[in-house]
Structure 1
């Protein structure tokens, strides 16, 4: 009897909607990005979130943030998220097992990592000198754009 009572907390309309959404979205996700690629995509999405966080912190520090710039980043982010799917579909068409998907995804991960690292530096967050040297050109480019107020 206690077991059946505990199911009342599990079998809820909200859980039912979440399960239904998962049933429909998972095949769509796998069609666009391929099977068993969730881990690399989660890393990519996590880095995008960190890039946004560090970018907001950096722009607040140097007062270069504007809402128009932030809003214009939304289509750019959606574009970046779509590129691995395009790579996966091209792999399917060409018969290459993940070559373009992983090439595009790792390239975007590296690009996003350099951007978030430069943003963290611009925000004044502590960072090892070796990392600063590795992304020095991105740090310099972001500092110059900020000084020219291109973020507005």
Structure 2
């Protein structure tokens, strides 16, 4: 009986709309990104989210954060999410099963990892010295950008 009572909270209009949206978007995502690629796309999305998080903390620490900073990240993130879809479609056209998709996606993951790691360093979060050394050029670029922004 208790199980049936808990179903009342599941059968809502909002949940119905969410299920409908998910069911109608699933074929679109399958078409754009291909099958069996959810895991790597989840990795990319988590990396983008971590880049946002660390970027906000780094910008707040060096006093360069503004509402423009956050708004400018939205088109950049949409671009990063769209590139694997374009690569997947090109794979289909050229006939290379996943070559471009995986190359572009792993490249974006590496680029985003470098950015979020440098942001974490700039935010003052502890990182191993070996990791800091790996992303030192990105750290320097972010520091120079923050210095230019602070002067303007």
Alignment partner, residue 15 of structure 1: 15
Runs of 4+ in 1 over 6 A off after TM superposition: none
Alignment partner, residue 109 of structure 1: 109
Alignment partner, residue 142 of structure 2: 142
| Contact 2:47/2:112, CA 8 A, preserved across alignment | yes
Report matched runs for 1:19-30 at 5 Å: 19-30=19-30
TM-score where L is the length of structure 1: 0.92
Q: Cα gap change, 1:131/1:151 in structure 2, threshold over 3 Å: closer, same or farther?
A: farther
Q: Cα gap change, 1:151/1:9 in structure 2, threshold over 3 Å: closer, same or farther?
A: farther
TM-score where L is the length of structure 2: 0.92
Equivalent-residue separation in structure 1 for 2:111 and 2:40 (angstroms) = 15
| Contact 1:118/1:139, CA 8 A, preserved across alignment | yes
Number of residue pairs matched?
Answer: 152
Query: Structure 1: 5+ residue runs without aligned partners?
Result: none
Q: Which moved more, 1:108-117 or 1:138-147?
A: 138-147
Equivalent-residue separation in structure 2 for 1:151 and 1:54 (angstroms) = 22
Equivalent-residue separation in structure 2 for 1:6 and 1:57 (angstroms) = 40
Equivalent-residue separation in structure 2 for 1:73 and 1:2 (angstroms) = 46
Equivalent-residue separation in structure 1 for 2:2 and 2:115 (angstroms) = 53
**Deviations 1:28-86 (Å, cap 9, x if unpaired)?**
01111111111111110111111011111011101012222321221111111100000
Query: Structure 2: 5+ residue runs without aligned partners?
Result: none
Q: Cα gap change, 1:44/1:77 in structure 2, threshold over 3 Å: closer, same or farther?
A: same
RMSD: 1.8
Q: Cα gap change, 1:3/1:54 in structure 2, threshold over 3 Å: closer, same or farther?
A: closer
Equivalent-residue separation in structure 2 for 1:19 and 1:5 (angstroms) = 20
Shift of 1:6: 4.2
Report matched runs for 1:62-141 at 5 Å: 62-141=62-141
